[in-house]
Amino acid sequence: MILGIIGGNTVCEGVASIRACRGCEPAPAKGELTLWVLFVQAIATAVDAFVIGVSLRAQVVDLAFAMCVIGLTTAVCCVFALLLGRKP
């Protein structure tokens, strides 16, 4: 719930900054995408997935259904992001 609120707030701030700066030049990139950055993000994702798995197992949840819903949601979000990020 809390992460949903934080994510929603982040999206709102991003949309507001895009609307405020229609004719502005794009901001320079904040950093490089290095192997170390990818490694740290992979570890963070693995820890997050582990915590979710333990949480689902601790509750009485149909794990097969939960995995299907999570996988389908991830696939839809990835396809949407790919389509949104396409260059014209």
Model pLDDT, residue 20: 74
Cα(13)–Cα(7) distance, integer angstroms: 10
Model pLDDT, residue 69: 92
More confident residue, 7 or 82: 82
Closest CA to 52 of 67, 73, 72: 67
Query: pTM value?
Result: 0.51
